[in-house]
């Protein structure tokens, strides 16, 4: 018959083994990435997320051997989640000088120029943002466009939660113009009844990390992206998605 000491030793070892087994099989929760509907860069299709930015996100996180999931929200909410630490990273954030120190920029996910969408008939299309002063302008809530309109002295600005809502405002004549990325605005004019006028130089969309992402993870993602560039994967993806690089 085993002694009390032997029994306790055996029991302790069994419990330690059980705990080790449980921890070794513990599932690590994937990092939360957020995005707004932004075709043709990233959007929620019938089978799930689509677009160049999404495909690149998948390749980069796989290359970095990191678990991550992408979820869609109205853009202003997604941005608040990123800034407040509820989300680890976001697709896709316009990289501007004002935002340079606000986020840690992971990798580029597209190029675009700002443009204005208007009815095909009516007043002449403006050549720049200042030319929108006489218009009631719709813009995406949470985007850098609000600052552009303020700087240009555009007094009549109406925000929308997404571009579908902005298009509805334009069709119902709640606004007379919608400002946004040219590639995105092209996806709204499905019947050819609207016109798009360019406004200014090219901009870049990036994947951006918020305060919830560890510095080591940021570096792993940046290194993974560079490995995909060096290996030719990024060039192949770009060739498959030229609509994400209109401003190049």
13 domain-assigned: no
pLDDT in single tens digits along all 248 residues of the chain: 455 444 334 444 444 444 444 433 334 479 999 999 999 999 999 989 999 999 999 999 999 999 999 999 999 999 999 999 999 999 999 999 999 999 999 999 999 999 999 998 777 888 899 999 999 999 999 999 999 999 999 999 999 999 999 999 999 999 999 999 999 999 987 677 899 999 987 899 999 999 999 999 999 999 999 999 999 999 999 999 999 988 77
Residue 225 burial (10 A CB sphere; 0-12, 13-18, 19+)? buried
Tokens of 169: 């405002």
* Residues 51 and 82 reside in one and the same domain: yes
234 domain-assigned: yes
Q: Which domain holds residue 191?
A: 112-202
Angle formed by the axes of helices 52-63 and 233-240, nearest 10°? 160
Q: What is the count of structural domains for the chain?
A: 2
Of 91, 209, 102, the residue nearest 147 (C-alpha): 102
* Residues 89 and 128 reside in one and the same domain: no
């Amino acid at each position: 018959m085993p002694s009390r000491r032997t029994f306790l030793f055996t029991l302790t070892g069994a419990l330690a083994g059980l705990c080790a087994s449980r921890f070794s099989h513990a599932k690590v929760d994937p990092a939360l990435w957020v995005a707004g509907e932004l075709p043709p860069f990233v959007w929620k299709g019938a089978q799930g997320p689509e677009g160049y930015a999404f495909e690149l996100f998948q390749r980069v996180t796989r290359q970095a051997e990191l678990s991550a999931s992408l979820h869609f929200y109205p853009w202003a909410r997604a941005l608040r989640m990123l800034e407040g630490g509820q989300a680890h990273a976001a697709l896709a954030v316009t990289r501007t000088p004002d935002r340079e120190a606000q986020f840690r920029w992971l990798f580029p996910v597209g190029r675009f120029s700002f443009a204005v969408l208007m009815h095909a008939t009516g007043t002449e299309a403006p050549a720049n943002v200042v030319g929108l002063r006489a218009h009631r302008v719709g813009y995406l809530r949470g985007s850098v466009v609000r600052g552009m309109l303020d700087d240009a002295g555009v007094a009549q600005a109406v925000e929308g939660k997404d571009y579908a809502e902005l298009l509805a405002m334009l069709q119902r004549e709640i606004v007379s113009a919608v400002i946004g990325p040219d590639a995105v605005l092209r996806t709204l004019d499905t019947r050819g009844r609207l016109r798009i006028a360019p406004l200014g130089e090219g901009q870049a969309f990036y994947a951006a990390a918020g305060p919830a992402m560890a510095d080591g993870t940021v570096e792993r993602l940046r290194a993974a992206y560079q490995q995909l560039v060096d290996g030719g994967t990024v060039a192949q993806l770009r060739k498959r998605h030229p609509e994400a690089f209109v401003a190049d």
